[in-house]
A = this chain, B = another copy of it.
């Protein structure tokens, strides 16, 4: 019985059971308590999480103290401070725990060793990164070309499953508006329909 990680990887590349083992053993397991901060700016966060259970988010805090959410991570998703993970420099993001989590942890150094040992894993991460890149490009264009309302509707379509377990001010932050404006916008939407 494959675990969530191997299931996830096998969506893009097929592994032998030896490869399964090599890969799985490279990960550490950890539990993270809700309302704790897993990564903060300045940390040497040279690892990535794979979420088995719970929810995390990544974000920055600007000079006014406003939070800007970059991503949410639910079971089956990856989260990291990609900058720190990929460059080996200190983190620029916060990652915190919204609901108690079980995660698998992959250190960058182990990932690099694995890439040579199991080239198919390098392929998997290439594809994962490619898909992530496309999504981010679209998000840049959406922020420039769409209204807050349209971005909200896209969000609803794209993440229908996590909306319910998310305070709505987090959705506001993700799509790039204040919670007050978001509240008003939502009631406008209801009135229209």
Q: How large is the interface on A (under 10, 10 to 19, 20 to 34, 35 or more residues)?
A: 20 to 34
A137 at the interface (CB under 8 A from B): yes
Q: What chain B residues lie within 8 Å of A92 (beta carbons)?
A: 138
Q: Does A109 contact B (CB under 8 A)?
A: no
B141–A144 CB distance below 8 A: no
Please state if A70 and B143 are interface contacts (CB–CB under 8 Å): no
* Chain A interface mostly: helix
Q: Type the 1/0 row for A4-26, where 1 means its CB is closer than 8 Å to any CB of B.
A: 00000000000000000000000
- Contact across chains for B86 and A134 when beta carbons are under 8 A apart: yes
Asked if A140 contacts B66 (CB within 8 A), the reply is no
Query: Is residue A145 within 8 Å, beta carbon to beta carbon, of the partner chain?
Result: yes
CA distance A66 to B141 in the complex (A): 12
Mark contacts of A82-95 with chain B using CB atoms, 8 A cut-off: 1 yes-contact digit, 0 otherwise. 11001100001000
- Residues of A with Cβ closer than 8 Å to B? 60, 62, 66, 68, 70, 82-83, 86-87, 92, 115, 119, 122-123, 125-126, 129-134, 136-141, 143-146, 176
Known A122-B122, A133-B136; 13 more pairs at CB < 8 Å: A68-B141, A70-B140, A70-B141, A82-B137, A83-B138, A86-B134, A119-B122, A129-B129, A129-B133, A136-B140, A139-B140, A140-B140, A143-B176
